């Protein structure tokens, strides 16, 4: 059975699937609904996404979708490694504007569950990092939103600085959290 560990913001959960290995390699169940349900993560995932980042220091995020297309995510590294971040953007939450992070590696198989009301982003730690993640709502351009990855108010301890980060044009111009009217209320 997978191990579930609540992080400093308890709604964000680190999941460690059990790997059954032998000389050939290993087998593991990366998602088993009854186990997640029993832990209180009762969602219907509707879309699987994949992201390849060629360079070390690629930062993707901080992204979220607004209701009615808000997304919860289950993220894992298929190849390589990432520093994965979740920022609480739920107004009224005692952890509003706070972040938690975990290093996810293909070699260890950790996963991070990020619920609704959180912005999500990651930084690649190895070249040719391949990320796979499940979401409980399909992508919606009209509901797509984000926050600046380097917002000084968040003070995220990224493993790369502004001069070393490889960013998309979209992520270069995201607003600071204080300039976003979050639709998420706790």
| Residues carrying an active site annotation | 63, 133
Nearest alpha carbon to residue 136 among 166, 164, 116:
116
Distance CA 75, CA 50 (A): 10
Please report, in angstroms and rounded to a whole number, the separation of the first and last CA atoms in the chain. 31
Place of tokens 């992520």: 171
Residue 33 backbone phi and psi in degrees, to 5: -50, -45
């Amino acid at each position: 059975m997978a191990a579930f560990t609540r992080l400093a913001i308890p709604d964000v959960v680190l999941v460690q699937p059990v790997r059954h290995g032998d000389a050939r390699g290993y087998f593991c169940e990366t998602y088993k609904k009854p186990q997640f349900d029993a832990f209180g993560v009762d969602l219907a995932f509707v879309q699987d996404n994949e992201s390849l980042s060629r360079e070390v220091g690629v930062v993707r995020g901080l992204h979220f979708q607004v209701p009615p297309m808000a997304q919860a995510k289950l993220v894992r590294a298929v190849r390589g490694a990432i520093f994965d971040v979740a920022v609480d953007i739920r107004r009224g939450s005692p952890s509003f504007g706070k972040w938690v992070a975990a290093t996810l590696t293909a070699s260890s198989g950790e996963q991070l569950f990020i619920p609704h009301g959180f912005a999500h982003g990651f930084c690649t730690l190895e070249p040719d990092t391949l990320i796979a993640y499940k979401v409980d709502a399909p992508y919606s351009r009209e509901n797509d939103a984000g926050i600046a990855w380097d917002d000084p108010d968040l003070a995220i301890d990224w493993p790369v600085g502004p001069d070393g980060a490889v960013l998309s044009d979209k992520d270069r111009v995201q607003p600071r959290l204080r300039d976003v009217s979050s639709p998420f209320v706790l």
